[in-house]
Structure 1
Amino acid sequence: MTRLNPRPNLRWRRAPLLLPAGLLAIAALTALFYLIVMDFAREFPPAQANTVDSLALKKPVVHIGVISRYRPRILYRGYQPIMDYLTANTPYRFELLLSQDYNEALQHLITRRASAVFLGSYLYVKAHAKYGVIPVLKPLNENFAPVSRSVLIAHPQAAIVSLPDLRGKKLALPARESFSSHWLLDYELARHGLSSRDLAQVHNFPHHHTVIAQVLNGNFDAGVTREYLVKDLIGHGVHAVLYSDPIPSSPIAVAADYDRELIAAMKTALLAVNQEEHRRKGTTRNWDGEFVNGFVEASDADYAAVAAIVAADTTRLESR
């Protein structure tokens, strides 16, 4: 007599579930990405309980600019806590000055609307050459090194495993003034014997998070962005194709004739974040992820590698 197995083999039942489970995980990460960084419902978040009441302090007002690499709400959420920290730890009231694009942020500095500006490394090099802008601080990464990287990411179904696979594909880029954009267009494509004409489409989007969303959604086959923005997505909705060499992290820059007393106070306050680990974690927990590990001093010589890419871009434009 044949006995029925009261516990049937579940391996054959579980295997088909693996693919849907993987897809659900990717969908969940994509949804989380949108909830965190692509929330269009409002431009600015509500005030937090620990926000400094800077108006009540009656300190001299200082405006700090920032390039428009992210949407206004994202910038406000990550940069305003830094302003609050500076207000609480200096004789000044710091206010964030947003901009419509990268060049407007630079003009805020040149016209003295802003006393300092968070610039991108590529824009800084150009601004130094044209206006004598000076870097004073640069952020530390998770390894406490003052460097960062750009990364070429691709959608899993795009069949892109190396840069030559971009031929005939659609590529999403951040703003034209960003290092990430120029790194790929002016350096890596040429190094691999390609140009933008070999791609089906190349489009610059104003914000890094838009680039990431376009690749996640499959609207573009690949995109270029900042490494730290997609670390949690690599292998979960996108994969990394190519990383740039490490470059100096994006500086806080000032005009050549900057206010020595003011900038000294700002530098002292931001450099103090690095002194004690337990203090740093508590102080920076609401800061943009680029700055949570603190800062070190910066100099123009730090950006020589970026200057080489700027020079290559200039040569390319002049040869047209």
Structure 2
Amino acid sequence: MRLTMIRSSIPILLILLLLFFLPCNISASDEASLTFQVHPYLPASELLDRFAPLTKYLSEKTKTKIVCNISKNYTDHIDMVGQDKVDFAFMGPASYIIMTQKYGLKHVLSRLEVNGTPLFQGVIVTRKNSSILSLKDLAGKSFAFGDPNSTMSYLVPLSMLHEAGIRKDALASHVFLSSHQNVALGVLIGDFDAGAVKEEVFFEFKERGLKDLAWTPKISEHVFVTRSNLPSEIVNSLKSAMLALSDKSILSSIKSSVTALVPADDSDYNNLRSIILSLEQAD
């Protein structure tokens, strides 16, 4: 009788031991999460602060933990989104086009609306006391770009220079300074004769001595996309939450002039797609 009781207790003991030593990553308390990736158009710490309210809002609406990360650079960001290594992402328009050319289309969630419009511009700038009055005057001058994959600090301004008959080899020199702010500061302190920045940065530094030389065409605003294989119910949940967002404190945290997140479609970026194609053909 005693032997029978011992034998019957062995399976129970084994089950208890297995439960005790199960890996913690399959515990019911381990919350599923989504990764939200942002391109590094500003310092990482500033971007994390700007997107924290939106991340919290989307987490509450989707009832899913969301972790916001900042990519190291534009190229890494494009590849991570294109290779479906993140669940959803915030992308600049040019990075979005480059990503779709390389990896194919993704689910588009929404785009920014800024001051009531989902379109934005960039500015080719110089100093207020500069003798440069037109793009043609940039021949033989030094020029500062931001990142090689940036919409408004490289690709669109480069297209404008081409249209004005100024190729990069016609410039005295050109450099990439990574960020719009670096470009503005480089021009202001006299390291470069001119540069290209987005309108937000131009207005930030205008009173400190920047002068607008030429404005870019209007381009569809920054866009939120998901990985191609994200389950449709999650895609729809994120999209619904974004389009329903009306809390001004969350929107203005991204940028003070953001007024809404509005519907977007891949076709909204066709004019930029044409600009990038013309640059590729020019090479």
Q: Secondary structure at the match of 1:312?
A: helix
The alignment of Structure 1 onto Structure 2 pairs a total of residues equal to 253
Q: Give 1:220 deviation, angstroms.
A: 1.4
Percent of pairs identical after alignment? 22
The question of 1:282 aligning with 2:254 is answered no
The answer to which structure has the higher strand fraction is: 2
Q: Give 1:58 deviation, angstroms.
A: 6.7
Distance in 2, matches of 1:76 and 1:243, equals: 29
Q: TM-score if structure 1 supplies the norm length?
A: 0.74
Q: Give 1:222 deviation, angstroms.
A: 1.3
The question of 1:270 aligning with 2:236 is answered no
* Aligned residue runs from structure 1 range 125-204, under 5 A: 125-134=97-106, 135-142=108-115, 144-180=116-152, 181-185=154-158, 187-204=159-176
Q: Secondary structure at the match of 2:205?
A: coil
Query: Which residue in the other structure is 2:279 paired with?
Result: 313
Q: Deviation string for 1:41-73 (max 9, x for gaps)?
A: xxxxxxxxxxxxxxxx97421111111222212
Decide whether the 8 Å contact of 2:54 with 2:250 is kept in 1: no
Amino acid at match of 2:281: T
Distance in 2, matches of 1:61 and 1:288, equals: 26
The structure-2 alpha-carbon separation of the partners of 1:182 and 1:110, relative to structure 1 and needing over 3 Å to count, comes to: closer
Pair member with larger Rg: 2
Decide whether the 8 Å contact of 2:71 with 2:77 is kept in 1: yes
The question of 1:304 aligning with 2:277 is answered no
Distance in 1, matches of 2:226 and 2:60, equals: 21
Q: Secondary structure at the match of 1:307?
A: helix
Q: Give 1:240 deviation, angstroms.
A: 0.8
Runs of at least 5 residues in structure 2 that lack an aligned partner in the other structure: 1-28
Runs of at least 5 residues in structure 1 that lack an aligned partner in the other structure: 1-56, 275-279
The structure-2 alpha-carbon separation of the partners of 1:84 and 1:71, relative to structure 1 and needing over 3 Å to count, comes to: same
Q: Deviation string for 1:190-219 (max 9, x for gaps)?
A: 211111122111111111221122122222
Amino acid at match of 1:282: S
User: Aligned-residue CA RMSD in angstroms?
Assistant: 1.9
Q: Give 1:81 deviation, angstroms.
A: 2.3
The question of 1:221 aligning with 2:188 is answered no
Q: Deviation string for 1:79-117 (max 9, x for gaps)?
A: 222212212322111111211111211222234331111
Query: Which residue in the other structure is 1:234 paired with?
Result: 206
Decide whether the 8 Å contact of 1:150 with 1:227 is kept in 2: yes
Distance in 2, matches of 1:191 and 1:231, equals: 25
Decide whether the 8 Å contact of 1:133 with 1:253 is kept in 2: no
Query: Which residue in the other structure is 2:18 paired with?
Result: none
The structure-2 alpha-carbon separation of the partners of 1:299 and 1:208, relative to structure 1 and needing over 3 Å to count, comes to: same
Amino acid at match of 1:136: L
Q: TM-score if structure 2 supplies the norm length?
A: 0.83
The question of 1:112 aligning with 2:81 is answered no
Distance in 2, matches of 1:287 and 1:123, equals: 19
